Amino acid sequence: MSTMLAPEPVKADTRKVVLSGIQPTGKMHIGNYVGAVSLWVQNQTRYDNLFCIANMHALTIPEAINPKTLRQQSRETAALLLACGIDPQQSIVFMQSDVAAHAYLAWILSCCTPVGWLERMTQYKTKAAKTEVVSSGLLTYPVLQTADILAYKAAYVPVGDDQKQHLELARDVAERFNHLYEAYFPLPDVLTRTSGTRIMGMDDPSAKMSKSTAQTRSGHAIGVLDTLDVIRKTIMSAVTDTGNETRFEVASAGVRNLLTLYEVLSGETRDQIETRFAGRGYGALKRELVELVVRTLEPIQARFREISDAPEYLNDVLAQGAECARERAERTLADVRQLVGL
């Protein structure tokens, strides 16, 4: 099949560079898909794209993942990106750990980053509060993310809402580097959806849907690879309220979350959705959302199975991706070494 041929190297061109990543810290969920991956796919032909599996970021809480699981989930995540529609003929897909320049650049950038900036990060505070031994890697996580972005002088970083603060930090670090040495790095801009940028937990609409939470709480996330039965059960038992309100602006958090998922996956306007569900109760909304989610995920799951049956193809994609990414990142690193006096 032509789409399973080893990709040609993706060459840099005059389009703006896009870089984004996903951690292989668990099962990819519909929040990752809606907030980030579908946006990457949607804009794929418009930009010069690099997408990485952030497996080094996944080491920041080493107690949470064992080496075998990390390796297996990293490959699964890469296969899922392709299954979701990332085309390796158009976008560079690679493992973060295959490009050593990220870690090297992260060290140089960490020397330009005041500790206070890192200690203020919301994600650091939340994750540190839940972790017995807080690694310095958890604190410097956003510096490695900044290195991921700046290694390719990315103009845009498409992410969900939870990563916005890290992006602001990346801009601040780039600005500080430019101030200390020379105006070298462009300042990256965040790209987010207008709706669906923060999908909440099905079992708790006050907390964002998260891979790590999903590992300990069934009913929290809709996994991209979940079976029809699990998807149905998760959506049908999603937290709502005792009312009947399906207007976006006034619905309770849980109902708004379901409406938002419906909006992004259907492409219908809010007016159309409100008319569709007016007075029909939450059961109808849930049942139709189940159908929509299944219609969205079925082709992704079928494609995932095809890719999983062709491990050599995935090896080729990742090897080619690493080579292309390495070449670009090494060029940036050579400039940076020169600028800082190494």
Examine residue 139 and tell whether it contacts ligand AQP (CB under 6 A): no
Least distance in Å: CB of 127 to ligand AQP? 7
Catalytic annotation present for 16? no
**Which lies closer to ligand AQP via its Cβ, residue 210 or residue 296?**
210
* Exposure string over 266-296, b if 16+ CB within 10 A, otherwise e: beeeeeebbeebeeeebeebbebbbebbbeb
Active site residue 211: yes
Q: Which of 48, 76, 148, 162 binds ligand AQP (CB under 6 A)?
A: 162
- Nearest Cα residue to 134 out of 122, 120, 124: 124
Look up tokens 């600028």; give the residue.
339
Size of the site for ligand AQP (CB under 6 A): 21
- Taking the least distance from each CB to ligand AQP, the nearer of 263 and 313 is 263
**One residue of 81, 159, 191, 293 binding ligand AQP per CB under 6 A:** 159
- Is residue 251 part of the contact set for ligand AQP (CB under 6 A)? no
Map tokens 């998260």 to a residue. 210
Q: Read off the amino acid at residue 93.
A: V
Instruction: Yes or no: say if 215 and 279 are a contact pair by the CB < 8 Å rule.
Output: no
User: Which region among 3-11, 28-36, 236-244, 309-317 touches ligand AQP (by CB under 6 A)?
Assistant: 28-36
Q: Is the distance from CB of 285 to CB of 262 less than 8 angstroms?
A: yes
Question: How many angstroms separate the CA atoms of 240 and 87, rounded?
Answer: 37
- DSSP H helical ranges for the chain: 30-32, 38-42, 67-84, 101-110, 115-119, 122-129, 136-150, 164-180, 211-216, 228-236, 253-266, 270-277, 281-308, 311-340
By CB under 6 A, the residues from 206 to 225 that bind ligand AQP are: 208-212
DSSP state of 155: S
* Among the listed residues 17, 18, 19, 36, the single contact to ligand AQP using CB under 6 A: 36
Stretch that binds ligand AQP, among 194-202, 234-242, 263-271, 319-327 (CB under 6 A): 194-202
208 is catalytic: yes
Measured from the CB atom, is 208 or 233 closer to ligand AQP? 208
Shortest distance (Å) from residue 304 CB to ligand AQP: 17
Nearer to ligand AQP, 23 or 246 (CB): 23
To the nearest whole angstrom, how small is the minimum distance from the Cβ of residue 62 to ligand AQP? 13
Q: Are 155 and 16 in contact (CB under 8 A)?
A: yes
Q: In what order do the strands lie in the sheet with 48-53?
A: 91-95, 48-53, 17-22, 156-158, 189-191
Stretch that binds ligand AQP, among 159-167, 267-275, 291-299, 308-316 (CB under 6 A): 159-167
**28 and 80 Cβ atoms separated by less than 8 Å:** yes
Piece of 31-39, 135-143, 250-258, 294-302 that binds ligand AQP (CB under 6 A): 31-39
The residue from 27, 153, 211, 286 that is catalytic is 211
Measure the CA–CA gap between 318 and 207, rounded to whole angstroms: 34
Nearest to residue 127, comparing CAs of 54, 219, 62?
A: 62
Query: Taking contact as CB under 6 A, which single stretch among the options 34-42, 108-116, 178-186, 313-321 is the one that binds ligand AQP?
Result: 34-42
- Judged by CB under 6 A, the residue of 7, 88, 142, 160 near ligand AQP is 160
CB contact at 8 A, 332 and 151: yes
Q: Which residues bind ligand AQP (CB under 6 A)?
A: 22-23, 25-26, 31-32, 34-36, 159-160, 162-163, 197-199, 208-212
Q: Report the catalytic residues.
A: 127, 208, 211
